[in-house]
């Protein structure tokens, strides 16, 4: 059998390059087969899949999914809502009451003297003279005619004496309402009620006792209200006509806008008279304010004790039913 040929030891060896170039393609160092891409060093399929899963996780999540946080709704401010509703209801009630009160007042509003039952009407002309002597008036209490040049203070003034009538009539000429009462008939509580009424209503009002009002006057009534050319007698301080009379006749005007008193715009302030009032039947004295020339007697041809213009001969004929 022929012998195998021996390798030629003199054959030329490859030169240059690294040892890696002499390795068998597809094998790693030491003759190992190179690991295919996508497989781990262990060569198992599971390792490759694990690597793929790890690479597919979202960046920044750290490989774990955070649970969603529960959204907590803010509680409604029921206290504020209830308070707002209460305020609205209260405001509505107040407005409703005010509207009702105004409507009721307008329904009861007096627009003419004859709408107040029992009012007497007289006809004293404007321009009555100022006199310094005492006057015997036809009406008792008087409602017009010659009068003292100094008016009685009528700024809601309550007198505790029967004041000089001539000064009070001058106040009526300025648009005041004069409330008189019989001190021998009216109780102290009733007097206090009238006093509060005068004080509460304020300007262009005055009040004084009037001796014999319920017994010797032509009214025969414990309470009387006077304004220029008008008068009303009542029996009780609770009579609603008292307030009606004040509202209509104090600086009053008729339905057509005509003033019911002569001296529109005249003042009612005379603090000197309020501090030192002249009593009834006293002689005239200069007390405080005067607004016109003074004469010693009434106009020529007219007795100083009589009004310059006669009232209606029968006041009851011009009394509101």
pLDDT value, residue 93:
86
CB of 111 closer than 8 Å to CB of 258: no
The answer, yes or no, to whether residue 314 has pLDDT greater than 50, is: no
Closest CA to 225 of 216, 236, 44: 236
Q: What is the pLDDT of residues 88-145, one digit of tens each?
A: 998 888 888 777 655 555 566 788 999 999 999 999 999 999 999 999 999 999 999 9
The answer, yes or no, to whether residue 301 has pLDDT greater than 70, is: no
Average pLDDT over residues 275-289: 93
The answer, yes or no, to whether residue 213 has pLDDT greater than 50, is: yes
Q: What is the pLDDT of residues 229-278, one digit of tens each?
A: 999 999 999 999 999 999 999 999 988 899 999 999 999 999 999 999 99
Distance CA 171, CA 155 (A): 10
Pairing status of strand 230-234 against strand 120-121: antiparallel
pLDDT value, residue 256:
87
Percentage of residues in the chain with pLDDT exceeding 70? 65
Pairing status of strand 223-227 against strand 205-209: unpaired
Say whether pTM exceeds 0.85.
no
Three-state DSSP state, 147: strand
Distance CA 68, CA 70 (A): 7
With cut-offs at 50, 70 and 90, classify the pLDDT of residue 321. Answer: low
pLDDT value, residue 80:
84
pLDDT value, residue 105:
58
Q: Which long-range contacts (CB under 8 A, 24 or more apart) does 298-301 make?
A: 298/129, 298/131, 298/146, 299/129
pLDDT value, residue 133:
95
Tell the residue number behind the tokens 């100094």, with chain if given: 150
pLDDT value, residue 92:
86
The answer, yes or no, to whether residue 86 has pLDDT greater than 70, is: yes
The answer, yes or no, to whether residue 14 has pLDDT greater than 80, is: no
The per-residue DSSP string of 128-166 comes to: PPBBSS----SSSS--SSSB-SBPPP-EEEE-SS-B-HH
Percentage of residues in the chain with pLDDT exceeding 90? 52
Distance CA 163, CA 280 (A): 5
Domain ranges for the chain:
118-321
Distance CA 7, CA 5 (A): 6
**Running DSSP on this structure, what letter comes out for residue 130?**
B
Average pLDDT over residues 277-292: 88
Q: What is the pLDDT of residues 52-63, one digit of tens each?
A: 444 445 555 555
Instruction: Look at the alpha carbons of 124, 126, 129, 131 in this order and tell me if their dihedral is positive or negative.
Output: positive
Distance CA 11, CA 257 (A): 150
Q: What is the mean pLDDT of the chain?
A: 78
With cut-offs at 50, 70 and 90, classify the pLDDT of residue 196. Answer: very high
The answer, yes or no, to whether residue 45 has pLDDT greater than 90, is: no
More reliable by pLDDT, 193 or 110: 193
Phi/psi at 197 (5° precision): -60, -45
């Amino acid at each position: 059998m022929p012998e195998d040929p021996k390798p030629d030891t003199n054959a030329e060896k490859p030169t240059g390059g690294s040892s890696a170039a002499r390795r068998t393609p597809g094998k790693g160092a030491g003759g190992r087969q190179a690991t295919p891409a996508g497989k781990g060093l262990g060569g198992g399929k599971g390792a490759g899949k694990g690597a793929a899963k790890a690479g597919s996780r979202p960046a920044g999540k750290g490989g774990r999914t955070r649970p969603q946080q529960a959204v907590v709704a803010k509680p409604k401010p029921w206290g504020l809502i209830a308070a707002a509703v209460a305020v609205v209801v209260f405001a509505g009630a107040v407005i409703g009451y005010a509207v009702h009160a105004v409507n009721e007042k307008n329904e009861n509003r007096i627009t003419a003297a004859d709408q107040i039952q029992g009012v007497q009407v007289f006809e004293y002309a404007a321009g009555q003279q100022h006199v310094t002597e005492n006057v015997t008036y036809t009406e008792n209490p008087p409602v017009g005619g010659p009068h003292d040049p100094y008016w009685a203070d009528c700024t809601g003034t309550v007198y505790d004496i029967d004041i000089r009538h001539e000064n009070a009539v001058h106040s009526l000429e300025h648009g005041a309402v004069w409330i008189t009462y019989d001190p021998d008939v009216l109780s102290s509580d009733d007097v206090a009620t009238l006093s509060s009424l005068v004080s509460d209503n304020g300007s262009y009002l005055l009040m004084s006792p009037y001796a014999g009002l319920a017994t010797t006057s032509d009214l025969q009534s414990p309470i009387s209200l006077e304004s220029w050319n008008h008068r009303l007698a009542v029996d009780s301080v609770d009579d609603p006509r008292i307030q009606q009379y004040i509202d209509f006749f104090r600086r009053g005007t008729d339905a057509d806008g005509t003033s019911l008193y002569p001296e529109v715009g005249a003042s009612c302030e005379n603090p000197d008279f309020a501090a030192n009032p002249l009593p009834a039947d006293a002689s005239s004295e200069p007390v405080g304010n005067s607004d016109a020339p003074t004469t010693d007697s009434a106009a020529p041809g007219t007795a100083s004790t009589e009004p310059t213009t006669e009232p209606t001969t029968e006041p009851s004929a011009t009394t509101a039913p």
